[in-house]
Amino acid sequence: MACMQRKWRKQLSLCLIYSFVVAFYASVVFFTSSLRYETQFVIKDLPQLWIQKLAGGRLIPMENFWLDSLQKIRGVKEVYPRIWGYYFDSSTGAVFTVMGTEKPVNTLNMLSFSTIYKNKKNILQKNQAIVGTGFLAMRGLQIGENLSIPDAEGNMLNLEIIASFNSKSDLLTRDLIIVSPEYARKIIGLQQNQNTDFALNVFNPTEIDNIARRLDQKYASIRVVTKSQLEATYATLFGWRGGIWIYGSILALFAFILLVWERTSGLSEQEKKELGILKALGWQINEVVLIRLYEGLIISLTATFLGILLAFFHVFWLEAPLFKPFLVGWSVLYPRFSLFPIVELNSILIIFSLSIFPYLLATIIPAWKGAIIEPSEAMK
């Protein structure tokens, strides 16, 4: 311990560098874990499965007659059409998601209404729209104002913004425009008897895969997607992106460990003399190694705890500004969202095992090599 006090500047700088390396790795672990949790939370209200019609590998509209045919499938509880698509706004350069719904407006969550409309609870009228915060920001509009959107044929549709989703739902709704089914079809270029796809819910959730298989076998040129498949896709996507950074941070961590090994394997004359004095005073080899172990344990534990705290602050307080754009992806219209703090026990154990044990090995082995030197030789 006295040795650590004499070399406190060196130990402090070592601990700080060590902490930043651990913080980088822990930040990636925390960010990807939280993003997976957010994704699972976001898609929990999706239908259990949905079918889409394909031609040449591209999505094509589905007519209304599919509704009766799908309702006759054994085990299907309900079937409802979905009208959605994408609208490129040339004035902002952003792509927005357009969705048509017949649900009562008061059943939609996380809305902020205009003062004129806030007491009404009815179906969305064809000249009304609900938009996300991103659309308002990029168009410079406010709730209660009017907006103009061209339909697929170039005719302008005038809409009144009656409400906006609040910022808590930005991960889902920042680029969203909800209008009546009639106007949604016009904007994305569908006929009045056409839909984008059909969503299904089943009576027995354990039969979802069997029903999906029967649908796939019965109908040609359709794609059946289940909610579990979408969850797996998102998990793979974020796992792949996060994995690149995790591998990079692990390499940085082990590069730091190798640097420590290189620095400690060649003991300085002062360190050799200290070991020689300890052995001359009757210290055994295991006692000398134990002292080095305590020193390494203090440094590694301190650096790891400090790195975890820095990572927590970086991800959940600052919202990971250093690598969030790389993990989330590129977009003209970024969703603003706050990550829910998720700290899993297995993640903490992995961080500790990767940061502490290699460092201890990098300090103990050189200490053991120095401890087996004869006192007379070490004190020369």
**Three-state secondary-structure class, residue 82:** strand
Q: Convert the pLDDT of each residue in 196-228 to its tens digit.
A: 999 999 999 999 999 999 999 999 889 999 998
Kindly give the residue spans of alpha helices, DSSP state H, lying in the chain: 2-6, 8-42, 66-71, 133-139, 170-173, 181-188, 208-218, 227-265, 269-280, 285-312, 324-328, 345-371, 375-378
pLDDT of residue 207: 94
Whether residue 289 lies inside any domain: the answer is yes
Read off the pTM: 0.70
pLDDT tens digits, 15-52: 888 888 888 888 888 887 887 777 777 677 788 999 99
In the chain, the amino acid numbered 300 is S
Question: What are the tens digits of pLDDT across the range 108-140?
Answer: 655 665 555 554 556 788 889 999 888 998 999
Computed over its alpha carbons, how large is the radius of gyration of the chain? 30
Domain that holds residue 93: 62-195
Same domain, residue pair 141 and 238: no
Domain identity same for 107 and 137: yes
Give the number of residues written for the chain: 380
Q: For residue 186, which phi and psi values (nearest 5 degrees)?
A: -65, -40
75 — phi, psi (to 5°)? 95, -10
- Tell me how far apart the alpha carbons of residues 199 and 179 are, in angstroms, rounded to a whole number: 19
- Pick the last residue of a domain from 167, 195, 223: 195
* Structural domains of the chain, count: 2
Are 253 and 289 contained in the same domain? yes
Do residues 72 and 129 both lie within one domain?
yes
**Helix, strand, coil: what percent of the chain each, to 5?**
55, 20, 25
Query: And the tokens for 99?
Result: 């969705």
Q: What are phi and psi of 126, to 5 degrees?
A: -70, -20
Q: Which of 165, 195, 225 is the last residue of a domain?
A: 195
8-42 vs 227-265: helix axis angle to the nearest 10? 170
Same structural domain for residues 31 and 67? no
- The helix/strand/coil state of 318 is coil
Largest CA distance in the chain: 96
Same domain assignment for residues 85 and 17? no
In the Cβ-directed half-sphere of 365, how many Cα atoms lie within 13 Å? 13
Residues 190, 75 share a domain: yes
- DSSP lists the bridge partners of residue 131 as 164, 177
Residue 369: inside a domain, yes or no? Answer: yes
Whether 227 is in a domain gets the answer no
Question: Is 119 within 8 Å of 140 (Cβ atoms)?
Answer: no
Could you tell me if 250 and 173 lie in one domain?
no
From 174, 195, 216, give the residue that closes a domain.
Answer: 195
The reply to whether 165 and 285 lie within a common domain is no
The SS3 of residue 32 is: helix
Task: Compute the distance between CA of residue 25 and CA of residue 35 in angstroms, rounded to an integer.
Answer: 16
Number of helices and strands in the chain (H, E): 13, 13
Distance, in Å, from the CA atom of 351 to the CA atom of 353, rounded to the nearest integer, reads: 6
pLDDT single digits (tens) 240-249 = 555 555 655 6
